[in-house]
Amino acid sequence: MFDINNIQRFFRDEKLDGWLLADFHGRNSIAVEFLELPEHITRRFAFFIPSDGAPTAFIHNIEKDRFRHLPGDKVFFSSYKALEETLKAVLRGRRRVAMEYSPFGRLPYIGLVDAGTIELVKSFGIEVVSSADLVAYFQARMTEKQEETHRIAARMINSIKDEAFRFIHEKLKEGSNINEKAVVAFILRRFQEERLVTDFSPIVAVNANISNPHYSPPEHGSSPINKNDLFIIDLWAKGKEPHAVFADITWAGYAGETAPEKYQKVFDIVRTARDRAVAFIGERFPRETVYGYQVDDACRQVISEAGFGEYFFHRTGHSILEEVHGPGPNIDNLETEDRRKLLPGHLFSIEPGIYLPEFGVRSEIDVMITAHGPEITTQPVQQHIIPLFG
């Protein structure tokens, strides 16, 4: 269960009067997870943590048993009028309250409370601010144990990636047919043997298929991997223990002796952008606050200045935790404007890509923020396209 005193210290630093977690039907996944509630919630509820004093839970009369574990006072209601009246009374005198709200909808991962509920709270004379940094601080940082599970996963998926490269090499060397789907099956089998779990199948893509960043080889008709093809392998997994953390990497390979200059040129730009993102953090943190959107800008600038900006059409990276797309800051100023602070314990991918009509390239690493700066946890880091017959 969360530490009220620690949360209230955070409020004082951020000049907040409290945090109002409000939900209907479990739509606010942040509130449900933070309060450790059961999945089946059928009525509205709210939980207010003030900057001082005990919290207050607002619970529908038919769902009392699902909130017994929560600390503080409990207010029970059945009618919406009673909920509104008691909520107003408890919030009286509060000026600035955090909620799962995203100004202008620019960070939809946080904007989970409906507009009507926000309007209701504002009608009490309260300034509603985003809980984005609260969530990033209290729900998105790894514990020491989680860091250990991530490092183990990083070593294992790197090893399985190497095995997959050898698998492709051996099949081509002996003249056997090999396609994308066969490599996916090989990786999934190795995950199972090593007691790793994943949420979706890994990505194995050749040539133009790489330019679909979320490409999934079809069950039937998967593209063959032939001599002199460019390909990528994008794989992510974690251990089976509770609260284990994912690792997520992408490597590029060439089914020949030396990757043609057109491929290596694009890879070099992607690699430079990837490394610039990490360097940007290192140059500033911990001396100054660094935000996800700034790192995306730094990475994207390299690709734009090289003339390929229109071909990099996704965010630079995503938060990683118990889900491969975690609840923390994303490295993004394209799809969303992520103004969450990067803090020690945050883990995220850096994965720029250039996706041309005839082929694509992506390179992905995982980066953890430590007290001293960024650490690349998925070692080694790819420096050139790997030739299978070099």
pLDDT attached to residue 170: 97
pLDDT attached to residue 40: 85
316-375 pLDDT, tens digit each: 999 999 999 999 999 999 999 999 999 999 999 999 999 999 999 999 999 999 999 999
Torsion angle (degrees, nearest 10) of CA 282, 288, 289, 292:
-30
Same domain, 37 and 99: yes
Number of domains the chain is built from:
2
Same domain, 121 and 224: no
pLDDT attached to residue 69: 94
Same domain, 118 and 232: no
278-317 pLDDT, tens digit each: 999 999 999 999 999 999 999 999 999 999 999 999 999 9
Q: Domain span at residue 77?
A: 4-138
Q: Is the dihedral of CA 359, 217, 183, 303 positive or negative?
A: positive
Q: What is the rounded CA–CA span in Å between residue 197 and residue 187?
A: 11
Tell me phi and psi for residue 377, to 5 degrees: -95, -15
12 has a pLDDT exceeding 80: yes
pLDDT attached to residue 213: 95
Helices (H), 127-229: 132-138, 144-173, 180-193
Q: Which of 138, 160, 175 is the last residue of a domain?
A: 138
Give the β-pairing of 347-350 and 247-254.
Answer: unpaired
Same domain, 255 and 119: no
pLDDT attached to residue 34: 94
Q: What is the rounded CA–CA span in Å between residue 16 and residue 9?
A: 10
Q: The tokens 């290596």 sit on which residue? A: 264
pLDDT band at 2; cut points 50, 70, 90: confident
pLDDT attached to residue 96: 98
Same domain, 102 and 126: yes
pLDDT band at 85; cut points 50, 70, 90: very high
Same domain, 184 and 70: no
Q: What is the rounded CA–CA span in Å between residue 214 and residue 232?
A: 12
Same domain, 128 and 185: no
Q: Which of 120, 138, 156 is the last residue of a domain?
A: 138
Same domain, 227 and 81: no
CATH code: domain of residue 14:
3.40.350.10
pLDDT attached to residue 38: 87
Same domain, 94 and 218: no
DSSP 8-class letter at 105: G
Same domain, 348 and 321: yes
pLDDT attached to residue 63: 94
Q: Which of 106, 138, 170 is the last residue of a domain?
A: 138
- Residue 154's CB is within 10 A of a number of other CB atoms, namely 24
CATH code: domain of residue 218:
3.90.230.10
- Residue 119's CB is within 10 A of a number of other CB atoms, namely 10
- How would you classify residue 243: left for phi > 0, otherwise alpha for psi between -120 and 50, otherwise beta? left
143-190 pLDDT, tens digit each: 999 999 999 999 999 999 999 999 999 999 999 999 999 999 999 999
DSSP 8-class letter at 86: H
Same domain, 224 and 352: yes
pLDDT attached to residue 80: 97
Same domain, 128 and 156: no
77-81, 161-165, 215-219: least confidently modelled range? 215-219
Q: What is the rounded CA–CA span in Å between residue 367 and residue 196?
A: 21
Name 97's bridge partners: 18, 128
39 has a pLDDT exceeding 90: no
